[in-house]
Structure 1
Amino acid sequence: MISPFLGRTPSQIVAYPVPPWAYQFAMTPWMVQSLWWHYLYTQDKQYLHRVYPLLRAAARFIAAYVTRNDDKKYHFSPTVSSENWGFTVDQHLNQDSILDLALTTFILNAVVEASVVLAVDERERLRWKDIWENLAPYPSASGPYGEVWIDIKNAPVGHIYNVPVTLAPVFPGEQVGIGLNIQYWDIAKRTARTISLEGGNDLVYQPLIRARLGMLDLEWFKQEVRYCRLPNGVANDRVRQSGGRYAQSLDFDYMMRMGFWCENFALPAVLNECMMQSYAGCIRVFPNTHNLGPARFENLRAVGAFLISSTYDGAQVTHLSLHSEKGKTAKLVSPWGGGGLRVIRGSDHGQVQVTLKGDVASFDTQANEIYLITSA
C-alpha cells in the first residue's frame, strides 16, 4: 500500500481485521449465524423472510468456494486458522480449518431448514445438503493422551492457543454436545481436558464449551473470573500460560491496562448454559451442576420460542415450567432420570399427553400457554 501523504513510503495504516485474519473463511458463516439463532429462538417466520437472503448469500459463497477432491469430500483450501499460523509455505497449514468446517456445517444445515420452512430454493437446497453431508472430517492428531482435534490440517499437537479454536465443533459450531453427535464425545472431552490456553481471550469461550460438554467445574470458573477481575467488578484478560505468543518475562497483567475486551460481557452466558441448554434440539435443565449449588432461573429462552423456568436445590430439580409463545412441539430431557413426565396445562389444569422416545419427552403446546412439568 502506498500512502498518498508520504509519497513512495509504504503505509503502516491497514484495515482491521488485517491479513491473514481477513482470509479466515469461517467469517462468512459466523457473520450470519446469529440471524438463524434469532429465528430458532423466536420462531418468527416474518423475520426469517427478511434475513433469508443473507443466509442464502452465505451458502452460495460457500458452495462456490469449496472444492471436491478425489476423496469425494469438500475441502477449504486455502484458508487461515484464526490468529495462529497465517499463510505458510506450500499451504502446509492452510487447509481445512476446524472452525471453517464446524461453522459451515452449522450454516448450511440452517439454510437447508430455512429454505424448507419458506418453501424456496429447492434445487439449491440439494447442493447445500450435499456439501454439508460430505465436508472433510475435522482435523485431528494423536497426542500423549490419545486422539485430539487440532485447529487446521497438519497443525502440531500441543500448540498453545489464545482461544479454544480446536473445540469449534462444540462452540460456536454447535455440532457436538450432550446427546448430540455422540460419536465425537470422547475426542471432544479429551480435547477440552488437554488443550493449552494462554489466557489471551478465553474467559467466556472455554468455560462455555466445558458447560456444553457437561464438564465445567463452577469453582474453577469462579477462580478464573476472580483472577481476571478489575477493581470495578468486570472481568478482563490476564496471561495464564507462557510458551505460545507470550514469553515468561512478559508482564502477565499487560492486557488489564489496554481497555476492556467486550467479549467478557458475555460471562452470564456461561451460567445460562449450566442451567439450561436447548441448542441441540431438546431442552435440558441444569445439565452442568459441578459445584453449582442451589440455583434457579426464570424465563430463559429456548429453541422453539419457549421460556423456561426451573429451580435446583443443589441435589435435584424441584420446579420446572414452560411458557410456549408460538405453540410449537416441546422436546425435553427429564431432569429426574429415566421415567416419563407429567405435564399440566396452566389455564385449566388439564393433563397433556406426553410421548417418550428414548430419554426425550415431547408434547404439543398452545401459544401463550404455561405448562407445569413434574416427574411421572
Structure 2
Amino acid sequence: MAERPKSVSAWLNTRLPIISVFRREYIEFAMPRNLNYLWNFGAFAVVSLMLLVLSGIFLAFNYTPTIADAFSSVETIDRQVASGWLVRAIHMGGVSMLFAALYVHIARSLYYGSYKAPRELVWLTGLGLLLLVMITAFAGYVLPWGQMSYWGATVVINAVNTVPLIGKPFASWLLGGEGLGNIALHRFFVLHFVTAFSIIGVIALHVATLHVTGSNNPTGKELTRSHQTVPFHPYYTTKDGLGLCLFLMVYAGLIFFAPDFLTLADNYVQANSLVTPADITPEWYFAPFYAILRAVPSKLGGLVLATGSIAVLFATPWLDASGVRSARSRPLLRVALPALFLAFIVLGIAGLHSPNGVWLWSSRIAVTYWYFYFLGLLPFVARRENSDNLNGAGE
C-alpha cells in the first residue's frame, strides 16, 4: 500500500505539485549574486499592475460607458463615492508608475544585453507586454470622456485612417461608426478590460521564459559556478522588498502631493466635439511617440515612424550580432546607448510642447538618431566589438 502523506500539503503536492514547483521556481531558483537595483524594476512593474487591476475593478462598479454619463460618473467617483478619489488616484498614478518601471526595465535590458541569445523570447514577450500596456492605457485614457481624452483619441483615429487599404475599415470597426460615440466608448471600455487581464497572461509567459534561460547579469557572462549564484529567497525577496518600499513612497508622493501630474487640466472638462483644445497634449508616457508622429508633415509618415520605433526593438536581438552582451565590456556602445536614452527623453519633452521651432527640430534629430542607432550603428558596432577583439569579455 502507498504510504500515507504526513500532511495536507504533502498530500496535495503528490497530486498537484504546486508547492514544490513554487519552491523550486521562486524560493530555490538560482539568481546571479551580482545583480544591481535596476533588476528591481520588474517587480515594481508587477506591483503597479496589481494595484491597477484591483483599483480598476472598483472603478468599474461606478463607471457608466456612455457619452452622456461617462464624465459625470467619473465626477461622482471623485466627489461622492466613499474613498473614490483615492481609488481613482491610485489607478491614474499606477499607470505612470507602471510605464516608468517598464521604460527603465527595457533600458536596463538594452544596456546589459538581456535581449541576446538565449534570451530572445524573454525580450520579445517583454515587448509584447509593453504593447499591451500601451493599448490598455490608450483605451483607458478615452474612458473619462474629458476634452483631452476625446481629442487625443481623435488624433490617433485620424492617423489610423491614413493607412492604405486597412486603415479606414479598421477605424470604422473600432468605432462602430463614423466617429466617437456610445458604441466606440463601450468598445474602448471592453478593450481596456480585456487587454488588462491579457497582460497578466503575458507576464506569466514572460516569467516562464526567464526561468527557462535564467537571469542575465551586469557582466553579461553566463555564471556556471555555484558560488556565483544565490537562492532567490531570501536574498532577492529582501532586496525587492526594500526597493518596493522606496517605490511605494514615490507612488504615494505622486498621489498625495502631485495629483495634477497624473492628468492634464483639460481632461477635467467634459468632451466637446465643437471646441478643439489650444494644444492637444498626451500623457507623458505617450509623449515620445506623439513627438515622432508629429516629426514629419505627413500623417501616414508620422504613423509609420512611430510604429516603426517600437517595431525596430523587436529586431534588436538580430541587429546586434556581437558575442558580447553587456555594454560594460563594449566601449563604443557605452557612448552610443546613453545618447539613445537621451534621444528618448528629448522626444518625451518635445511631445509635451507645441510642434514648432526648437521642439520640432529636436524631435526630428532625436528620431533620426533612434533609427540610426538600431539600423546603422548597432550592426556596425557589433562587427567591431566582439569577444575576440575585446579580450574575451563576451559570453
Structure with the larger strand share? 1
Structures share fold, TM-score greater than 0.5? no
- Band of TM-score, shorter chain: under 0.3
The one of the two structures with greater contact order (alpha-carbon pairs below 8 A, sep at least 6) is: 2
Q: TM-score, normalised by structure 1?
A: 0.25
